[in-house]
Structure 1
Amino acid sequence: MSDRLPSQHDDAPASGPLSPGTHTYTLAGVVQRYHVHGSGPVCVAHSGGPGIDWEYLRMPALEEHLTMVYVEPVGTAPDSRLPTHPHGYTRERYSTFLEVLVNRLGVPEVHLLGHSHGAFVAAYHALYRPERLAGVVLYEGAPVTGPEHGAEAARMVEAFAARHADHPGLPGVLAAFAALSGLSTDEQTTAAARGVLPSYFADFWGDEERLAPFRDAVRATYISGLDEDLTPDVIDDRAALKGLEVPALVVVGRHDVICGVRWARELDELIPDSDLLVLENSGHMGHLEEPDLFAEAVRRFVLRTGAQQAAG
């Protein structure tokens, strides 16, 4: 896809596409925003959900070393919704928007970091639109969705429940998980996201004073996970990842209940010459739980693979 389409209107700041702050443009009638923080080599970050507001993924420790470009995924703001909302938000759709954004930034190559569902998007983009990527960070991702992934997540949630059987907050977490299958509104989605969040950390209740404001700030939009024709966007990248040519770093928290160590190891085994980092004291949010270790690993990966691409 070209970075200039007839329906694309540019109202980004005149100071340039990588100037600090919020940038906005319109593509095919849909608003795309991104937010620039920090300085150094460019790393584009795609948040998860789908439908979780991008701000939870702010990584100040990385912003000290890299120019972080935080994508505001289409669908997460009222003016960025597809005509088919809440349907149609497939990886292909996210990837087409990513391609335009990357082309607009004005640098030869970028690194792409995807978290959670964003890691599924990042893997897809690296497989099918790798031309402008110097490297990809698959942060709390997996090679598959569907029943196998769901069964592993259920097993991990059960283990979490067993560890915290006597905690008064556990029933609320389990109720939020039970509500996930019946979501249909933004309000329900936000409540469920906040409700399950204690299980997304290695020790949420042990650090609740610091983490509760983060939980309470999470916002979410209901996105169905179905294509425009109501077909589920089921993922199985196992065969394709064996041919991935973009350098990859796989990052996982030891205590992640959603996209845990099993999946990170499988990604690492499938992807040629990938690197694997297991954050031993983190769950699903290592950039908050072990920010310095996380940031140093990503920084080193970006600098090394960027240099390799320049030399090659």
Structure 2
Amino acid sequence: MKHGTTTQQLDLGTHSIAFVDEGCGFPVLCMHSLAGSLRMWDGAAAELVRQYRVLRCDARGHGASTGTMPYTVEGLARDALALLDAQGITRCAVLGISMGGQAAMHLALTAPHRVAALVLANTSAGALPDAKWRVAQTKARINEIGYERFASEYVASRLADGVASSAYAGYLRDTLALGAQRYVATLCSILAQDLTAELSRLQVPALLVSGTADVSTTPERMRALGALLPTSRTLELEGAGHFSCLDQPEIFNAGVVEFLAFNIEDS
């Protein structure tokens, strides 16, 4: 079956999830980072749709998805499973970046039979020693300069080229639309994660993508995540920041395509 590029809405009762389902072949689910939207995957989807069925969704409260707080990483994983069910997908590969990577790990831990392969970009297992400080610092900065200026700083700091990046304006629009309250609430859930004791039971093939210029999830933290995953390999992108799929799209996409071809050909 061929799927289209029109954004659809999945009604889950208390909220709805916006998604795009396009292409045909083995399904690949893409989950974006904090304050982003499914548009984050436009470049990757254009490449992947040549071989795969690509399903992209806006996280709860982000983009065109709706929902009231609390916003939790676990909730994002449940929403993704509901979307897979609604679209008749029993098994897929999952691409997750930052917050989306944590949600992808939750999904794989909750329903390991549904996940054939994982791509985890610029993310961690949680248990960060500076988590409380980062939340306090974020709240203080928003109070000091206002959310609009904070959003500009946040997006610029996560992209290797800052405000000069071609992705800056689009990501800033998504961040501004999220708003301060939802941003902080979601950040708190991200930083509260601790998957370190659970990941050793994941036997799914995993590709870990990091950026050498990532100030949020450093390559060292990505290597620590890899040590917890028994079947992982790494791809380190020179000069890429926290949004590696936007900073180094060609290399990112090529690495993902190669990994998926090798790991889901028999799925």
Check the 8 A contact 1:194/1:215 in 2, yes or no. no
* Residues 186-201 of structure 1 aligned to structure 2 (within 5 Å): 189=147, 191-201=149-159
Check the 8 A contact 1:42/1:67 in 2, yes or no. yes
Instruction: Say yes or no: does 1:240 pair with 2:198.
Output: yes
Compare 60-69 and 259-268 and name the one that shifted more: 60-69
Aligned equivalent of 2:185, options 219, 225, 228: 225
Aligned equivalent of 1:58, options 34, 39, 42: 42
- What's 1:158 paired with? none
The total of aligned residue pairs comes to: 260
Check the 8 A contact 2:14/2:67 in 1, yes or no. no
1:141 Cα deviation after fit: 0.3
- Give a deviation string over 1:5-39, Cα, whole Å, max 9, x none: xxxxxxxxxx98x4332121211231121113455
The ranges of structure 1 where at least 4 consecutive aligned residues each deviate by more than 6 angstroms after the TM superposition are 230-233
Q: Secondary structure at the match of 2:62?
A: coil
Tell me, in whole angstroms, the C-alpha distance in 2 between the residues paired with 1:264 and 1:180: 23
Instruction: Say yes or no: does 1:210 pair with 2:166.
Output: yes
Tell me, in whole angstroms, the C-alpha distance in 1 between the residues paired with 2:250 and 2:51: 12
Radius of gyration: which is bigger? 1
Check the 8 A contact 2:159/2:165 in 1, yes or no. no
- Give a deviation string over 1:104-148, Cα, whole Å, max 9, x none: 222441111111111111111111222211111111101114434
1:250 Cα deviation after fit: 0.8
- What's 1:279 paired with? 237
Check the 8 A contact 1:135/1:246 in 2, yes or no. yes
1:201 Cα deviation after fit: 2.6
Indicate how the Cα distance of structure 1 residues 39 and 287 shifts in structure 2: closer, same or farther if over 3 A, else same.
farther
**Percent of aligned pairs sharing the same letter:** 22
1:234 Cα deviation after fit: 1.3
1:56 Cα deviation after fit: 2.8
- Give a deviation string over 1:32-79, Cα, whole Å, max 9, x none: 211134554321111121x43332332233344433211111112577
Indicate how the Cα distance of structure 1 residues 97 and 200 shifts in structure 2: closer, same or farther if over 3 A, else same.
same
Check the 8 A contact 2:19/2:56 in 1, yes or no. yes
- What's 1:46 paired with? 31
Aligned equivalent of 1:258, options 196, 199, 216: 216
1:184 Cα deviation after fit: 8.0
Tell me, in whole angstroms, the C-alpha distance in 2 between the residues paired with 1:181 and 1:99: 32
- What's 1:170 paired with? none
Indicate how the Cα distance of structure 1 residues 101 and 77 shifts in structure 2: closer, same or farther if over 3 A, else same.
same
**Which one-letter code corresponds to 1:67 in the other structure?**
R
Indicate how the Cα distance of structure 1 residues 269 and 132 shifts in structure 2: closer, same or farther if over 3 A, else same.
same
Q: Secondary structure at the match of 1:55?
A: helix
Indicate how the Cα distance of structure 1 residues 115 and 109 shifts in structure 2: closer, same or farther if over 3 A, else same.
same
Check the 8 A contact 2:32/2:100 in 1, yes or no. yes
Indicate how the Cα distance of structure 1 residues 113 and 190 shifts in structure 2: closer, same or farther if over 3 A, else same.
farther
**Which one-letter code corresponds to 2:18 in the other structure?**
R
**Which one-letter code corresponds to 1:31 in the other structure?**
S
1:257 Cα deviation after fit: 0.5
1:212 Cα deviation after fit: 4.5
Tell me, in whole angstroms, the C-alpha distance in 2 between the residues paired with 1:235 and 1:283: 22
**Which one-letter code corresponds to 1:235 in the other structure?**
Q
> Which structure 2 residue ranges, 5 or more long, are not aligned?
none
